[in-house]
Structure 1
Amino acid sequence: MPDKPVPAVCVLDPDGDVVRHLARAGTGYRHPGWACYHTEMWVVEVDGLEIGVVGMAVGAPFAVLVAEQLAVSGAALVVSITSAGRISGNETPPYFVLIERALRDEGTSAHYVAPGEWSYLAAGLKDKLRNAFGQNGIYVVTGSSWTTDAPYRETALAIKEAKRRGIACVEMEAAALYAYAAAAGRNVVCLAHITNTMAVDGDDFEKGSDNGVNVSLAVVSAVATAILGSP
């Protein structure tokens, strides 16, 4: 295996839609030097920016494991885009939520930071992203999420409480990724691709054209440009 660094900008793609699309369409290539537990990295160029994408790292422990490996392999920025269920909000799916804080209803974050209720997007990154999306027509709202380890234990009572608190969505990685980023001093940005309203309809996981791949990559490009500058 060659000793080759990964791209400066890397994406966690828990659903695997992006990596499957790149492999099927032939628009990316498999990174020959990526060595991480049960994963492959596909590399694609978007707007002159090389982006590495790792698929299927589902859940907080796995996502943080991969993020740690990305950092030591050369990534300067990790962007997580996961599908999520909408809890509150009037927008019509699919759309994106830039997660500014995540409720810590998982176990991994406690291994990185002291116990607490929330994990947060770093203030410096939040400031840089304030106007990142309006110019390219991508629909992104800012909000909070609920990170769970147990999607089948999202009880009606818990969902009602999350809605009362104005939580936008539920997902499985953000709280741990932000805790890791805070502890390690790494650049991590988490977005939720809101595809469903808690999986109550047959089309609830529909992401739109091409499974949302191109718009997701456009979001990553906008995030990277805002934080790292133009390629």
Structure 2
Amino acid sequence: MPLFTDFDPEEGLISPGFEKLGLALPEYAVMAFLSERHIQSFAEAHEGYQAGKFMSLTKNFPVWVVKIGEEEVTLIQAPAGAPAAVLMEERLFAYGTEKLLTVGCCGALTDLPENTFLPVKEAFRDEGTSFHYLPESDSIVLDEEPLAHIEEIFAKRNIPCMPCTVWTTDAFFRETKEKIEQVKEAGCQAVDMECSALAACARFRGKTFAQILFTADTLASMRHDERNWGKDSRNASLALAMEAVLGM
């Protein structure tokens, strides 16, 4: 019996706010696929305080609230992989987030230099989580207004960026030559593991969402080159995301 072909819009039996943490988070949030050290250092440098924590079976995630200009922005580490990342996203929405920007690295599928910034315009849904939030389709097109605003921020800072189409996959070690050729033919320039699911969840919940990627490793030549895993972009990407989220 096929279990996963029909989208069910009914609310789940478990609420994202079931823990009743009593948090009242700001309207804006950034979820970063970066180390705890990067996130804590940024928070402490910007009048940040720990508002609470989201707990899981394997680790706890500090929830920081950071001052950016006159606004407060939630900042939290994102776990890797679509199911875990969406679990974190749902909790943010449950406790007050209305506008979410995620930031992290990706693999290049085309001849893109390392540390190229790629605001996402479309994500192909090669993961399972998004199909619990939206009807079946090959891809999800992200909201145009947040994307345009992000491009303006990069232009203002004189930092090049290229809106991209990303292939979101669950299987890091199953990125085969044939699959890469297929997604490149469909227009994908990069690969990640979360974007399409995060975008689907946000749309289901009626929230604003955008994602900024930066290139790390590459599969452009049909062999894996780790390069330097995009390390030179980690600090800059977080600062840009914290600025960009405020205009979404």
- Structure 2 vs 1, CA of residues 176 and 113 (structure 1 numbering), >3 Å: closer, same or farther? same
Identical-residue share of aligned pairs (%): 26
TM-score by length of 1: 0.84
Range with bigger deviation, 96-105 or 52-61: 52-61
Deviation at 1:34, TM superposition (A): 3.7
Deviation at 1:127, TM superposition (A): 4.5
Range with bigger deviation, 78-87 or 51-60: 51-60
Pairing 1:51–2:69 present: no
Q: Which residue of 2 aligns with 1:12?
A: 31
Deviation at 1:203, TM superposition (A): 3.1
Deviation at 1:130, TM superposition (A): 4.9
TM-score by length of 2: 0.78
- Structure 2 vs 1, CA of residues 130 and 96 (structure 1 numbering), >3 Å: closer, same or farther? closer
- Structure 2 vs 1, CA of residues 92 and 49 (structure 1 numbering), >3 Å: closer, same or farther? farther
CA distance in 2: counterparts of 1:222 and 1:27, whole angstroms: 14
Q: Which residue of 2 aligns with 1:78?
A: 100
CA distance in 1: counterparts of 2:246 and 2:66, whole angstroms: 16
SS at 2:52's partner residue? Answer: coil
Q: Which runs of 4+ in 1 moved over 6 A?
A: none
Deviation at 1:21, TM superposition (A): 2.2
Verify the 8 A CA contact 1:101 1:144 in the aligned structure 2: yes
Verify the 8 A CA contact 2:26 2:73 in the aligned structure 1: yes
Verify the 8 A CA contact 1:60 1:149 in the aligned structure 2: yes
Q: Which residue of 2 aligns with 1:41?
A: 63
Verify the 8 A CA contact 2:119 2:147 in the aligned structure 1: no
CA distance in 1: counterparts of 2:212 and 2:105, whole angstroms: 9
Q: Which residue of 1 aligns with 2:84?
A: 62
Q: Which residue of 2 aligns with 1:196?
A: 217
CA distance in 1: counterparts of 2:78 and 2:146, whole angstroms: 25
- Structure 2 vs 1, CA of residues 161 and 21 (structure 1 numbering), >3 Å: closer, same or farther? same
CA distance in 1: counterparts of 2:207 and 2:105, whole angstroms: 23
SS at 1:103's partner residue? Answer: strand
Deviation at 1:33, TM superposition (A): 2.9
Deviation at 1:189, TM superposition (A): 0.7
**Aligned letter for 1:134?**
A
Verify the 8 A CA contact 2:108 2:217 in the aligned structure 1: yes
Verify the 8 A CA contact 1:101 1:118 in the aligned structure 2: yes
**Aligned letter for 1:78?**
L
**Aligned letter for 1:20?**
R
| Total equivalences in the alignment | 221
CA distance in 1: counterparts of 2:21 and 2:170, whole angstroms: 35
Verify the 8 A CA contact 2:216 2:226 in the aligned structure 1: no
CA offset digits 1:179-225 (Å, max 9, x no partner): 112211111111212112138335330321xx622x12332134223
Match of 2:38 among 17, 21, 32: 21
- Structure 2 vs 1, CA of residues 226 and 30 (structure 1 numbering), >3 Å: closer, same or farther? closer
Deviation at 1:47, TM superposition (A): 4.2
CA distance in 1: counterparts of 2:225 and 2:179, whole angstroms: 20
CA distance in 2: counterparts of 1:33 and 1:183, whole angstroms: 25
Deviation at 1:52, TM superposition (A): 2.2
CA distance in 1: counterparts of 2:191 and 2:128, whole angstroms: 16
- Structure 2 vs 1, CA of residues 206 and 133 (structure 1 numbering), >3 Å: closer, same or farther? closer
CA distance in 1: counterparts of 2:150 and 2:40, whole angstroms: 30
CA distance in 2: counterparts of 1:189 and 1:56, whole angstroms: 14
Which sections of structure 1, spanning at least 5 residues, go unmatched? none
Verify the 8 A CA contact 2:166 2:188 in the aligned structure 1: yes
Verify the 8 A CA contact 2:117 2:212 in the aligned structure 1: yes
CA distance in 2: counterparts of 1:96 and 1:130, whole angstroms: 10
